[in-house]
A and B are shown apart, each in its own frame.
Chain A
Amino acid sequence: MGIVELKDVRKVYPLGKVEVEAVKGVSFCIEKGDFISIAGPSGSGKTTILNMIGLIDHATAGEVHIDGKPTAGLKDRELTRMRHEVLGFIFQSFNLIPVLNVWENIEFPLLLGKTRITKAEKNDWIDWLIAEVGLVEWKRHKPNELSGGQRQRVAIARALVTKPQIVLADEPTANLDSATGEQIIELMKKINRELETTFIFSTHDAKIVNIADHIIRLRDGLVTENVRRGEDVAEACAPANTAGD
């Protein structure tokens, strides 16, 4: 069953008096637990699509379903709650909170909304994540004391801390050298396997694209290729098992 589904999604940006159609009718289905790459040249609409999946921006037309539920018409408060509970974010320029140290940056999302876990569970989980991303020695350091690769590792841990179903990463390697970038993608892939978290990352780096299970290629706001494990996939998700509902 698909965890993310876009149905004929369009996005038009007003730009002064004219309008820019950044996404021109895109449909695809993403399976739970997959490692997905959205690839395409600059300006092809990768960020726009990730923002719509991430409920940061809304589609001008079409539907965005997250975990089988439509998201159109949700209030800001509800969208924020969903971003907090269902989604995790990794950004191109890391976007850590400068006044918080590594541990606190990772903890931050857990302090928002209602917490359901005990303090001990929380500490164990954060410590596990810090070990997982290899920053045990750095946990009391502030972001400005870390290298780019280290910062992105903090961001990965932060994105995972709420145990989201989907992690979105918009060009997570663009600000890193290629070796570090590959390590970051490998780390994401490892976590994807271990935690079965769905990762959707965008990139225009051909080398990185191929690590993905599922590649969606864009050009000028349209899907040009939609391949999963070497096979073309249908635009629409398989209908939910009606007997189960």
Chain B
Amino acid sequence: MKTIANIAFRNLSRQKKRSVLLGAAIAFGVMIVTLINGFAGAFVSNVSDNFSYLLAGHVFVSGVEKTGAKLDKEIEVIRDDAVLTAALKDAGVPAKYVTRRSDFDGSLIFEGKKVFHSIAGTDLANERFLRDRLVLKEGSWDNMKDPRAIVLSDKIAGKLNVQVGDRILVSLKTAAGQNNAGEFVLAGISFDTGILGSLMGYANIAYVNELLGLASGEYMTMGIMLDDISRTERSATALYDRMKASLQLFDRGVKDEKGATTPFMAMMRKQNREQWNGVKYRVFTLNDILAQVQQIVDAINIAAFVILVVLFFIVMVGITNTFRMVMYERIREIGTMRAVGVQRGEIRSMFLYEALFLAIGGALAGIVLALVAMAVISFFNLGMDSPLFIILKNGHLSFRVPPFQAVGNVLVIAVLTLAAAFFPARNAARLDPAVALRTLK
């Protein structure tokens, strides 16, 4: 068999132009598909990464408390941090950071201008990573030492026409639903990075709690940043199962809620129809919020696969025809080999090996070409303020080819090529040696 494979390999170089052409066709298809896969692979991780930094977590826990005589008062709050911290530890979730945030939607007012905006109260001493993602255009993070400091995006600051150091009025509803007002000091203006940049302003949690009427040490959402984003769902399930033992929990994975575009929305809709007493917790993940992102990626990958298959049906026709030609070109040789003692199956193998070498060579070349193209494309910095920010990694288009997908593509090519070569190979094997030897070419 080694001999047969060796001859098959050498046969590839007999018609160099033809082999190179077929190999190039295979390489081109694989390159395109690998690029698309690579883009899709990075797309989901970049979007998730960017979101996870701005939302400060991969897995989240929030609490909803029902109080009042008729249980008609609803407050978003987590009052007992210890019980969550313990559950997190017991569940063995590999957390890199744990963040605690309170947030509200309220009006920012400056010299007659008014903007309705989301404000996240964070503990910037602990959420240092936020500084890496949120690049300041003006001001500095040191200004955040002011308890009433706030960082706004370029766009929002522009709408309000505020400068660093200006005082901004805020009007909001407390957690319990009463009107309240306060005053922020603009500490910094961040680059307006697409939709995310203007998603929210960042303030100190102590002051946000004060505005919301929450006690210090209380917060609304716990964000758990994991070491490895791919462990998100497993970690959420572990935490959920752990908490279920002693706490009230909203169901995870609610489905079939009409009109809900994400699992998170479905969860919220179901919650509105429920009644409970005390605090009930919600465990959710980035994926629950960003479900569409995964759908987009799935769609891209399906499209890539369809392209792969279509491209390869075209290439397969070429391969089938080529090998049919090859059979006639080498008919005497086949007859000679059969006479000398090569078995039928070995003739078939010889053809299939040749096809396989072509497929693997072409596919590997395609992957290498794709990697080179990726390196070149991702070399360009599109800037932090690019509207593409959400899909970029530090301003660069990035690619991530999951190895199993690359291997899968090579396997698909190998199988399709073998299928294309199968019938010519079988015909060659079935040749009557007497006929093959008599044929003049």
A37 CA / B42 CA spacing, docked (Å): 75
Q: How far is the CB of A66 from chain B (nearest CB, A)?
A: 14
Q: How far apart sit A81 and B345, CA to CA, in the bound complex (Å)?
A: 13
Interface string of B322-339 (1 = CB under 8 A from A): 000000000011011111
List residues of chain B with CB within 8 A of the CB of A238: none
Is the CB–CB distance between B14 and A80 below 8 Å? no
Interface of B is mostly: helix
Interface flags for A152-179 (1: CB within 8 Å of B; 0: not) read 0000001000100000000000000000
Interface segment among B3-11, B181-189, B408-416, B417-425: the answer is B3-11
On chain B, the residues within 8 Å of A51 by CB distance are 434, 437
Cβ of A99 within 8 Å of any chain B Cβ, yes or no, is: yes
**Cβ of A97 and Cβ of B333 under 8 Å apart?**
yes
Instruction: Flag if B7 contacts A99 (CB, 8 Å).
Output: yes
Chain B residues within an 8 Å CB radius of A100: 7, 10
The answer to the question of B340 belonging to the interface, with a C-beta cut-off of 8 Å to chain A, is yes
Select B434's contact among A57, A84, A99, beta carbons within 8 Å: A57
Within 8 A of B (CB), among A62-113: 76-77, 80-81, 83-85, 89, 91, 93, 95, 97-100, 108-109, 111-113
Contact size range, A: 20 to 34
A112 touches which one: B3, B344, B437 (CB < 8 A)? Answer: B3
A144 CB to closest chain B CB (Å) equals: 11
Tell me whether A84 and B341 are in contact (CB under 8 A).
yes
Contacts of A93 in B (CB 8 A): 332
Query: A149 an interface residue at 8 Å Cβ cutoff?
Result: no
- How many Å lie between the Cα of A91 and that of B13 in the bound state? 26
Check if B342 is an interface residue, CB within 8 A of chain A: yes
Q: How far is the CB of B324 from chain A (nearest CB, A)?
A: 20
B340 touches A89 (CB 8 A): yes
Partner of B342, one of A91, A98, A112: A112
Residues of B within 8 A of A83 (CB): 338-341
B343 an interface residue at 8 Å Cβ cutoff?
Answer: yes
Taking the complex as formed, is A54 at the interface, i.e. its CB lies under 8 A from any CB of chain B? yes
A1 contacts partner chain B, Cβ-Cβ < 8 Å: no
Flag whether A12 is at the interface (Cβ < 8 A).
no
Which of A47, A56, A97 has a CB less than 8 Å from the CB of B339?
A: A56
Give Cα distance in the complex from A49 to B388, angstroms: 79
CA distance A101 to B337 in the complex (A): 15
CB pair A108–B340 under 8 Å, yes or no, is yes
**Do A99 and B14 have beta carbons less than 8 Å apart?**
yes
Q: Mark A27-54, 1 if CB is under 8 A from B, else 0.
A: 0000000000000000000010001001
B223 close to chain A: CB less than 8 A: no
- From residue A188, how far is it (CB to closest CB) to chain B in Å? 18
Chain B neighbourhood of A85, CB < 8 A: 341
Taking the closest CB of chain B, its distance from the CB of A157, in whole angstroms, is 13
Does B433 belong to the interface (CB within 8 Å)? Answer: yes
Residues of B within 8 A of A (CB): 2-3, 7, 10-11, 13-14, 332-333, 335-344, 346, 432-434, 437-438
Could you pull out 12 A-B pairs where Cβ atoms are within 8 angstroms? A51-B437, A54-B339, A56-B437, A76-B344, A77-B343, A83-B338, A91-B336, A95-B335, A99-B13, A111-B3, A112-B341, A162-B341
List 8 additional contacts besides A97-B7, A97-B336; criterion CB under 8 Å: A57-B433, A80-B341, A80-B342, A84-B341, A89-B339, A89-B340, A99-B7, A112-B342
- Leading 8 A-B pairs by shortest Cβ distance: A84-B341, A99-B10, A57-B434, A111-B3, A95-B336, A112-B341, A56-B433, A56-B434
